[in-house]
Structure 1
Amino acid sequence: MLRCLHPWRLSGGRAGLRLLQRHLFTMKVQSPEFQSLFTEGLKSLTELFAKENHELRIAGGAVRDLLSGVKPQDVDFATTATPEQMKGLFQAAGVRMINNKGEKHGTVTARLQNENFEITTLRIDVVTDGRHAEVEFTTDWQQDAERRDLTVNSMFLGFDGTLYDYFNGYEDLKNKKVRFVGHAKKRIQEDYLRILRYFRRVRSAPVPTGLPANASLEEFDRVSRNVDGLSPKPMTLLASLFKVQDDVTKLDLRLKISKEEKNLGLFLVKYRNDLTKATDSSEPLKPYQDFIIDSREPDAAARIWELLKYQGQPGLLRDLQQWSVPSFPVSGHDIRKAGISSGKEIGVLLQQFTRWRRTSC
């Protein structure tokens, strides 16, 4: 087994040059599971790319499975060739290509020897919105690894058996650590479904994360569709994994999340089913407006906005964001002028006056 560490490289890109520490770990893999992948179709594929001097490697989850001693059910491939270059070499060789929907993201699917092979050009995410990304092609393997979700999914495997590991994925796999590549918050904001992949990985390699073991992935999937395009806060989506408020508290104890994130999580878990739009179609916003009026929390409106995202109510969200709490024309000072000096009595009166504010919404 050969192991190497390569320390540094200089990386460019739209953001300009930046010095990145390179911890490229390599070793040889020659397991029975790896050897079993070499079908006639795969041999033909590797020969085509080698002939045109394009690098081709196994990528992502298939590498993780092979290192775990499991033959992967699906194998994805990554290459330095662009989609146009791939189409050119396949056309020249008379290879059939299918499903061209992935080409704008760099993916070409070829059929050789009755097998389908999905090959994707190395890429970087230029613009992301939480679900979709605009990509730019690259020939830099580490840049492609940097955009992946988890360290255990960021490795590549050459057909000579060389493992390429830039982010300690091999060690994390051995130690059953589930870590995002780079900054977790940034990875999640790029694609919120990465939380789902993270949680699925946690289930297969149990580690103490602070997330509930009985979380509903179906609810997470439903809410992820609800918030698509609404720019939710990370906790808004994460709350779908919590069944009770105590789950939020346990996460805070484990990860020390911010007070704002904790309070938002507690709020969403408590009100996601109880606080819904009015059955009266003429005033669907009224329950939300009443809550904001009655609340003494300065960020009540912002929390309600996140609740509407969670519930998948973009229309109500737009309407509520344009609404403001009506100003009440009577203050405590006015009540004192009327001869009532007790602070307690003034407070009771002002509380009763909120009925006026509600009816004026």
Structure 2
Amino acid sequence: MSMILRSLPAAPHFVVSTRLRLWFLPIICSRGVKLLRRSSTTPLLGILNTMKIRDDQLKNVITPEMKTLEELFVKNGFEIRIAGGAVRDLLMGSIPQDFDFATTATPDEMKKMFTDEGIRMLNLGGEKHGTITARINDKENFEVTALRIDMVTDGRRAEVEYTTDWHTDANRRDLTVNAMYLSFDGTVYDYFKGIEHLKERKVRFVGNPGYRIQEDYLRILRYFRFYGRLALNENSHDADILEAIRLNANGLSNVSGERLLVEFRKILEGKLYCSLVCLMHELGVTSYLGLPESLDVAEFRRVCQLSDKLAPIAMTRLAALIRTEDEALQLHSRLRLSNFDKNHLLFLVHYREKTPKGADTEDLHFFQELQFTCNIKGASKAEIHRWTQELLKYHGNETLLQKFNAWEIPRFPVKGTKLLDLGLKKGPELGRTLQHLRKIWFESGFELNEEQLLSKVKDIFKEASPEHSSKLQEVP
């Protein structure tokens, strides 16, 4: 437990808000899209709890540029506070890597203020979300977002109105641990027991989990991500949260693959990922991420157990859930994987079954050979080397991985220009010939030199096409 949370006061000061809560009315529009519209008929959720952090802790995070930003807002009659994740991380005893700011100023008021002060603004596309990015002293960029209310949501985006009420803004956030603010005097403002939940390592939604999820279905994955980051026990989920996720999992079908991938990758890279992914499957979440309905859970658990100590990357862990290359391509279609990630999955799915049964011995031959015989379109040698490392991690073979990492790939002695001099043309033919020569070189134990390898070129083409072989220039 961090020093900050251990030092929380036993009886913190509470201030009861008399503001009105905005609740949600489901509306079905003409296209059949479920909308959530807010009304102002019931009191706001939450009670304000404040605490102060020590000056020395605050000084560790407040840079001169942040102070300049704060002074600018105060001078113009606005409040500004650090918001969300940075407050959470600070209370957990870690130095935040990213800072988001919230303010009582509207985007138009911020733009006028920054323009009047000669401060450069960046990424103006964020304005539609209420965010203005300012560059202070030509050193740091800060994203500042106006306090807002989500008036209408469709599970992906929201129509917002701006407000000056911090409680109202907190009421629209996803998780209690992300709904806190920190002023520049060190006061933490917490409306939903975020401090208490951090101390107890609980992950809770602000208010009704179902309503929160229906505002943005990506919050299903965010819940699992933060659970893996904060929770100590893999089985301490609240039953009402799991039920809300089960009932709303189909909403993920309308969320873009790119957004899903960002969160899913973080889940796979986090703590408790094995139990979380299995739980996501039980709740019907994984099928909306491009994974098959029937997952190889046994293989996934096996790989989790074998490979954890070797810290495989997310796609290596994900490969254990996929049985075939077609399933890998289906996942790629849904999540819009990068070429590196797609080819990584295909590499693992293809070669994991070809790995010799004696791969737990000290024989590196199979893995060395992959460096010269694997020919995935567009893949660099460095990428194939990385995927081979991940293949060894997949099988949990630490000894072979260490040997493979210590092995230096010899420099292949033949350049493509030499083959062009022999009459080969640029294109697939040249690539296939180089690949064939690499295999011959590998099988020789890397002993053959350039001249000896070039002497094999005619033999290669005699096998493929005697007519073509006669057109090759004599080997010098």
Normalised by the length of structure 2, the TM-score is 0.46
- In structure 2, the CA distance between the partners of 1:200 and 1:249, relative to structure 1 (3 Å rule), is closer
1:28 aligns with 2:34: no
Q: Secondary structure at the match of 2:39?
A: coil
1:227 aligns with 2:236: no
1:76 aligns with 2:100: yes
1:176 aligns with 2:185: no
1:58 aligns with 2:82: yes
Q: Secondary structure at the match of 1:69?
A: coil
Q: Secondary structure at the match of 1:18?
A: strand
1:243 and 1:269 in contact (8 A); partners too: no
Q: Any runs of at least 4 consecutive aligned residues in structure 1 with deviations exceeding 3 A, and if so which? A: 207-212, 223-226, 240-244, 246-252, 268-273
- In structure 2, the CA distance between the partners of 1:105 and 1:172, relative to structure 1 (3 Å rule), is same
Structure 2 counterpart of 1:156: 181
Q: Secondary structure at the match of 2:150?
A: strand
1:38 aligns with 2:62: yes
2:44 and 2:168 in contact (8 A); partners too: no
Q: Secondary structure at the match of 1:187?
A: helix
Query: Structure 2 CA distance, aligned partners of 1:194 and 1:249?
Result: 13
Q: Secondary structure at the match of 1:91?
A: helix
User: Which of 6, 15, 39 matches 2:15?
Assistant: 6
Q: Secondary structure at the match of 2:155?
A: coil
Question: One-letter code of the match for 2:198?
Answer: L
Q: Secondary structure at the match of 1:227?
A: helix
1:108 and 1:119 in contact (8 A); partners too: yes
The Cα offsets for residues 288-329 of structure 1, whole Å up to 9 and x where unpaired, read as: xxxxxxxxxxxxxxxxxxxx9xx96xxxxxxxxxxxxxxxxx
- In structure 2, the CA distance between the partners of 1:111 and 1:137, relative to structure 1 (3 Å rule), is same
Question: One-letter code of the match for 1:35?
Answer: K
2:21 and 2:168 in contact (8 A); partners too: no
Equivalent residues in 2 for 1:97-108, closer than 5 Å: 97-108=121-132
The Cα offsets for residues 162-207 of structure 1, whole Å up to 9 and x where unpaired, read as: 1100000000000000111111111112112112221111112225
- In structure 2, the CA distance between the partners of 1:224 and 1:89, relative to structure 1 (3 Å rule), is farther
2:217 and 2:251 in contact (8 A); partners too: no
Q: How far does residue 18 in structure 1 lie from its aligned partner after superposition?
A: 2.2
- In structure 2, the CA distance between the partners of 1:201 and 1:92, relative to structure 1 (3 Å rule), is same
1:64 and 1:155 in contact (8 A); partners too: yes
Instruction: Tell me the number of residue pairs that the alignment of Structure 1 and Structure 2 aligns.
Output: 250
Query: Structure 2 CA distance, aligned partners of 1:81 and 1:106?
Result: 10
- In structure 2, the CA distance between the partners of 1:196 and 1:12, relative to structure 1 (3 Å rule), is closer
User: Which of 172, 175, 182 matches 1:147?
Assistant: 172
Q: How far does residue 251 in structure 1 lie from its aligned partner after superposition?
A: 6.1
2:21 and 2:45 in contact (8 A); partners too: no
User: Which of 92, 95, 115 matches 1:91?
Assistant: 115
1:5 and 1:24 in contact (8 A); partners too: yes
Unaligned 5+ runs, structure 2:
1-7, 23-37, 238-248, 257-262, 297-329, 335-476
Equivalent residues in 2 for 1:280-299, closer than 5 Å: none
Q: How far does residue 211 in structure 1 lie from its aligned partner after superposition?
A: 9.3
Question: One-letter code of the match for 1:156?
Answer: Y
- Let me know the Cα RMSD of the aligned residues: 3.9
Query: Structure 2 CA distance, aligned partners of 1:248 and 1:90?
Result: 47
- Higher mean C-alpha displacement, 201-210 vs 119-128: 201-210
Equivalent residues in 2 for 1:1-361, closer than 5 Å: 3-11=12-20, 15-20=39-44, 22-30=46-54, 32-113=56-137, 114-208=139-233, 227-228=253-254, 247=278, 270=293
Query: Structure 2 CA distance, aligned partners of 1:197 and 1:205?
Result: 12
1:9 and 1:22 in contact (8 A); partners too: no
- Higher mean C-alpha displacement, 203-212 vs 24-33: 203-212
- In structure 2, the CA distance between the partners of 1:270 and 1:44, relative to structure 1 (3 Å rule), is closer
Question: One-letter code of the match for 1:102?
Answer: G
The Cα offsets for residues 233-253 of structure 1, whole Å up to 9 and x where unpaired, read as: xxxx99x99999x9569968x
1:33 and 1:69 in contact (8 A); partners too: no
Question: One-letter code of the match for 1:190?
Answer: E
Question: One-letter code of the match for 1:50?
Answer: V
Q: How far does residue 7 in structure 1 lie from its aligned partner after superposition?
A: 2.1
Query: Structure 1 CA distance, aligned partners of 2:44 and 2:252?
Result: 37
Q: How far does residue 56 in structure 1 lie from its aligned partner after superposition?
A: 0.3
Normalised by the length of structure 1, the TM-score is 0.60
2:182 and 2:188 in contact (8 A); partners too: yes
- In structure 2, the CA distance between the partners of 1:51 and 1:192, relative to structure 1 (3 Å rule), is same
Query: Structure 1 CA distance, aligned partners of 2:153 and 2:253?
Result: 15
Q: How far does residue 31 in structure 1 lie from its aligned partner after superposition?
A: 5.4
**Larger relative CO (CA 8 A, sep 6+): 1 or 2?**
1
Q: How far does residue 32 in structure 1 lie from its aligned partner after superposition?
A: 3.6
Q: How far does residue 105 in structure 1 lie from its aligned partner after superposition?
A: 1.0
- Higher mean C-alpha displacement, 9-18 vs 39-48: 9-18
Unaligned 5+ runs, structure 1:
213-222, 231-236, 253-260, 274-307, 313-361
Query: Structure 1 CA distance, aligned partners of 2:280 and 2:114?
Result: 55
Question: One-letter code of the match for 2:122?
Answer: I
Q: How far does residue 228 in structure 1 lie from its aligned partner after superposition?
A: 2.0
- In structure 2, the CA distance between the partners of 1:247 and 1:72, relative to structure 1 (3 Å rule), is closer
Query: Structure 2 CA distance, aligned partners of 1:44 and 1:153?
Result: 25
Q: How far does residue 8 in structure 1 lie from its aligned partner after superposition?
A: 3.6
Q: How far does residue 270 in structure 1 lie from its aligned partner after superposition?
A: 4.3
Q: How far does residue 10 in structure 1 lie from its aligned partner after superposition?
A: 3.0
Question: One-letter code of the match for 2:107?
Answer: P
- In structure 2, the CA distance between the partners of 1:75 and 1:198, relative to structure 1 (3 Å rule), is same
Question: One-letter code of the match for 1:57?
Answer: R
